[in-house]
Structure 1
Amino acid sequence: MKPLSGFPEKMILLDCETTGGNAIRDRLTEIALIEITDGVETDRWQTLINPGISIPPWISKLTGITDSMVANQPSFADIAEELQQRLADKVFVAHHVRFDYGFIRESFRRIGITFSAKTLCSVKISRLLYPEQRRHGIDAIVARLGLTVNQRHRAMDDAQVILELFQQTQHDFDESTIQQACKQLSQQTRVPSHLDIAEINKLPERPGIYQFFDEHGALLYIGKSVNIKQRVLSHFVQNGKLRNTEMQQQLQHIDFIETPSDFGAQLLENQLIKSKTPRYNRRQTKTKRLYQIALTVNDKGYHRTTIEMADLNQPPDISQRYGLFRSQKQAEKKLLDLINEHQLCQKLCGLEKTKNGCFGFQLKKCLGACCGEEPAIRYNLRLQTALSGIKNQAWPWPGPIVITELPADGDYEAAHFHLVDQWLYLGIVKNQHDAFERLQQQYAEPQYFDLDAYKIQLRFLLKLRPKQLLIESLRLPAEEAS
């Protein structure tokens, strides 16, 4: 058989079967690998694995692997040392490599071993070399190459399909084309030459925040992601090329804090950026002033709007006040948009000072509320409709709440407990006593209202409401006593 040319000198073609699709919650049931050295197959290895949990019936139907088949098989811990030796110093190749690599890496992590390897995705190889093909999954490649697979969804047979795909490329492309495709894909995980690769290898593929530091320990940047490692790597490569920004040149150390989900990651990122003010974070800054659109009634019964500064020591005022804006100019722009969209009066909206009708009335953009041409009841209704889209959300709970944020695997031991009262985010608490103390501190020294934290809460608690977030009203001591 012709040696594979253009591919990495040492690589492992690997496939694994699992109890499900979540690397944190689910477990491995089978691993198979084909070792390739200098383009030639040098070894094969496979094993069933006792996952320690039941295999769902639909998974057994798909793979043919049942609980009875794995009952007397080794656990991952039993085969970990041999697997680690087989994978050492080789490029990790799999179809949808992120799935298989994620399960292997998480399985090692679970028993206290940090695993890291260069990866190559055979799906992406297929897409690059065969762009005219619509599908690139295992079944599509089997059909495309006319292969006969005895046990589809078994690890060794699926790993064999990868080998068959790579062998087909030898007939369809020259070595340099294949080499260039592999190089292009490997560049997507390149890092700056001055950055120790250990700084990347230690990063988890879990939700949380990451922090970039320079050689003197100065904080450069704070970011968040549902996959910390993947997001950090995305800073370094753009369109297949290594980026060379000022921040990348200064980066020497990366730190991280894991959170159970994206909810906690967003709140923590917002909190840390404002308290630590990293050098290269531009978007979120601590807001010292916020503005609202206030509603009043003049002596003729027409509603008027004015722009006024909001009280940051209080939750958003929803009584005849609308929106929250970082500047007066931003509030004026929003008001002008509403005027144009709903044919409101610039004079009654406080953006034009004139004794007679507004300029918009002359252009037939205002229906004449400013000079009595339009009845107050009709104008007021249209204004209320316009403002309803920026009305602030009333606090929907009777008092303070504790939000239990669970990780994807539902592990309650790893949960975070967030205390919130009237949209004021008061941080993570350890228990009910800690929550009571935090509330007392808030009553004594009120925290400023944070617009960004408010928006994060709206998005997660009222719109998305993931199953990982459990909300419980906090019963205050006085309520318990009664």
Structure 2
Amino acid sequence: MYAIVDIETTGGQPAEDRITEIAIFIHDGDQVVDQFHSLINPGRPIPFFISQLTGITDEMVRDAPKFHEVAKQIVQITEGNVFVAHNVRFDYSFVKKEFADLGFTFQRKTLCTVRLSRKLMPGLPSYSLGKLCKSIDIPLQMRHRAIGDAEATAVLFDRLLKIDEKKVNDSQDEKLLETSSISKEIKTSLLPSNISKDMVDALPLEAGVYYFHDEEGQIIYVGKSKSIRKRIIQHFNIDFKSKKSIEFKNRIADITYVRTGSELVALLFESDEIKKRKPFYNRAQRRSVYHSGIYSYYDQEGYLRLTFQKAKTEVPPLLTMSNQFQAKNFLYNRVAKYNLCQKLCDLYKSTGPCFDYQVHQCKGACVGKESPEEYNLRVIESIDAFKYDYDTFVIIGKGRNAEEKSVVVVDNGRYLGFGYFDESFSASSLEDFKGVIRYYNDNKDTQQIIRGYMRTKHGDKVLVFSQEEDPAF
């Protein structure tokens, strides 16, 4: 049995918007045997442009039941049935969210008629409901109303059932029934319409970087994981987040990947790829230019001071930042966390005490009330929090196969890059390791990645180098 569902909403974000209409047609595999339809009072105004699209106005839903008043009927009519919809992620996410708000877990097997149509009726110009119905002569009354769209989807589903049944019968293969298109789609309906289960099953359960491409082949997202396949499956799970997350999944038409072996290398390579390719759906690490830096120096009185200024290539900063605003905010955070002096961190211009001293929050380094020795201990502690534990070191981890190792090189506090070597490799100096790596940019993100990784129970081998002695490998 199948419950063919369509909804109308106040907007496209399940976490924020609400359902205004729901229609359900029950199909027993041969024909429609039951149906349910209701306008729903969303408890909030319907935006004008939504009313223009659907024709549903505030006046129409003012006396309609609220979702909790029809929830029991929805549970009963869909109980034991497969939840079918055209772009099922959208409708299912909204229905699940409405039930979640009531403290009820709504769980049904799902089936997407967009995916099923692409598979059973390939080559059509469009698979949007309106254009698809026009292509195959399905009447569509009351477009963008739940009752009209659900009825058209029920007719479409009936045709798809018959096409699938004919394929099974024509095959004369007794085992095909268990793996018919509809059976497969029920198992994989949460996947984007262009992504098959076979494609996902072929992904490695290994560390690496993966790429989502759109239908034109453009990279729209770059990610990383200790297990590429598991992470990608997580991407395709239903969520309640936003219209953008649903749009993102619908745009995915292909998946490629690069195995790295090492989780750390995956993190570093992903960061570089995002900056280089600037995928539309990656935001956090898209910046690729770091204009500002955090620097330290001792003044004439012996106080260790922090400052922010334009990053200089000849003088490596303690930390790089995208801009002066970000650098300034970072120093404000250091001042608050380590009880530093605003004036000695270049945040308060005055010949007298800083503002914090005047409100009894600074211990007085700015006017000589706190000794350089006491003050500098806190500055050093704040610096150590965003520096590496060692100046020069390499991190040796897993490679892409059993005979290979990965290596990440940091020289004098600067990340140089990563590479691989096999069992025949022998190293006695840092220069030997430099010879096997590919060089990458050092920036705030790579510094944070390496610092964070070093503080986990990673199990990699760390070799520390000094000017006096290079450790043997």
Provide the TM-score with structure 1 as the length reference: 0.50
Could you tell me how far 1:324 is from its partner in structure 2?
Answer: 4.2
- 2:385 aligned to which of 354, 379, 390: 390
CA distance in 1, matches of 2:208, 2:249: 21
- Pick from 297, 302, 306: which aligns with 2:299? 297
Partner residue in 1 for 2:281: 280
Q: CA deviation at 1:380?
A: 2.3
| Unaligned runs of at least 5 residues, structure 2 | 3-74, 83-106, 112-185
Taking structure 1 as reference, are residues 404 and 353 closer, same or farther at Cα in structure 2, changes over 3 Å only?
A: closer
How far the C-alpha of 1:396 sits from its partner, in A, is: 5.4
Displacement of 1:393 after TM fit?
A: 1.8
The answer as to 2:448 corresponding to 1:455 is yes
Contact kept in structure 2, 1:188 and 1:237, CA below 8 Å: no
Q: Secondary structure at the match of 2:348?
A: coil
1:330 aligns with 2:326: yes
How big is each residue's C-alpha offset from its partner over 1:119-150, in whole Å with a ceiling of 9 and x where there is no partner?
A: xxxxxxxxxxxxxxxxxxxxxxxxxxxxxxxx
Question: Aligned partner of 2:417: which letter?
Answer: L
Question: CA 1:396–1:383 in 2, change beyond 3 Å: closer, same or farther?
Answer: closer
**Distance change in 2, residues 1:214/1:302 (3 Å):** closer
Whether 2:418 is the aligned partner of 1:427: answer yes
Secondary structure in structure 1 of the residue aligned to 2:257: strand
Contact 2:262–2:406 (8 Å) recurs in 1:
no
Alpha-carbon spacing, 1:280–1:193, altered in 2? closer, same or farther (3 Å): same
Distance 1:438 1:289, change over 3 A: farther
Query: How far apart, CA to CA, are the structure 2 residues paired with 1:313 and 1:371?
Result: 33
1:105-144 map, 5 Å:
none
Deviation of 1:188 (Å): 8.4
1:205, CA displacement in angstroms?
3.0
CA distance in 2, matches of 1:362, 1:268: 47
The alpha-carbon deviation at position 217 of structure 1 amounts to 1.7
TM-score, normalising length: structure 2: 0.50
Deviation at 1:403, TM superposition (A): 1.6
CA contact (8 A) 2:212 2:220 kept: yes
Give yes or no for contact 2:194–2:254 (8 Å, CA) kept in 1.
no
**Alignment partner of 1:177 out of 79, 85, 106:** 79
Distance 1:326 1:465, change over 3 A: farther
Equivalents in 2 of 1:344, 1:369: separation in Å? 9
Structure 1 counterpart of 2:157: none
Whole-Å separation in 2 of the counterparts to 1:286 and 1:313: 19
**Corresponding residue of 1:367:** 363
8 Å Cα contact 2:188-2:197 kept in structure 1: no
Residue 213 of structure 1: aligned partner: 213
| Counterpart check, 1:418 vs 2:380 | no
Q: Is the 8 A contact 1:190 1:242 kept in 2?
A: no
Q: 1:426 to 1:174 in 2, by over 3 A?
A: same
Task: Indicate which of 396, 409, 415 corresponds to 1:403.
Answer: 396
Deviation at 1:224, TM superposition (A): 1.1
- For residues 425-475 of structure 1, the C-alpha deviation after alignment (integer angstroms, 9 at most, x for no partner) is 433234549996883699xx9864233333333333x322433x3446799
1:348 aligned residue (317, 337, 344): 344
CA displacement at 1:277 relative to structure 2: 2.8
| Structure 1: runs of 5 or more not aligned | 7-172
- Deviations, residues 38-77 of structure 1 (Å, cap 9, x unaligned): xxxxxxxxxxxxxxxxxxxxxxxxxxxxxxxxxxxxxxxx
Partners of 2:464 and 2:361 in 1: CA distance: 48
Q: Deviation at 1:222?
A: 0.9
Of all paired residues, the percent bearing the same amino acid is: 23
Give the 3-state SS of the residue equivalent to 1:348 in structure 2.
Answer: helix
Tell me, in whole angstroms, the C-alpha distance in 1 between the residues paired with 2:282 and 2:457.
28
Aligned equivalents of 2:234 and 2:396: distance in 1? 31
Distance in 1 (CA, whole Å) between partners of 2:253 and 2:260 is: 24
Query: CA offsets, 1:339-387, max 9 Å, x none?
Result: 3345443223221222333333332223333334x14346524643652
Change (3 A) 1:232 1:363: same
Q: How far apart, in 1, do the equivalents of 2:236 and 2:370 lie?
A: 61
Given that residues 290 and 320 in structure 2 are in contact (C-alpha distance below 8 angstroms), is that contact kept between their aligned partners in structure 1? Answer: no
Contact 1:187 1:242 in 2 (8 A): no
Distance 1:175 1:231 in 2: 34
Q: Give 1:287's aligned amino acid.
A: V
Q: Alpha carbons of 1:312 and 1:459: their partners in 2 closer, same or farther (altered >3 Å)?
A: farther
1:214-293 residue pairs with structure 2 within 5 A?
A: 214-239=214-239, 245-284=246-285, 285-293=287-295
The alpha carbon displacement at 1:307 in A equals: 1.6
Deviations 1:3-59 (A, max 9, x none): xx99xxxxxxxxxxxxxxxxxxxxxxxxxxxxxxxxxxxxxxxxxxxxxxxxxxxxx
Report the residue type matching 2:251 in the other structure.
Q
Q: CA RMSD in A?
A: 4.4
**CA distance change for structure 1 residues 195 and 242 in 2, over 3 Å: closer, same or farther?**
farther
Letter in 2 for 1:235: H
For 1:352 and 1:211, the matched residues in 2 are separated by 46
> C-alpha offsets along residues 240-259 of structure 1, whole Å, 9 cap, x if unaligned?
89976333333221112223
1:275 positional shift: 3.0
Q: Which of 458, 462, 467 does residue 466 from structure 1 map onto? A: 458
The 1:405–1:473 alpha-carbon spacing in structure 2 relative to 1, beyond 3 Å, is farther
Distance verdict in 2 for CA 1:360–1:232, change over 3 Å: same
1:21-100 pair list within 5 angstroms: none
Q: 1:296 to 1:470 in 2, by over 3 A?
A: closer
Alpha-carbon distance change, 446 to 200 in structure 1, aligned in 2, over 3 angstroms: closer
* Structure 2 CA distance for aligned equivalents of residues 346 and 474 of structure 1: 36
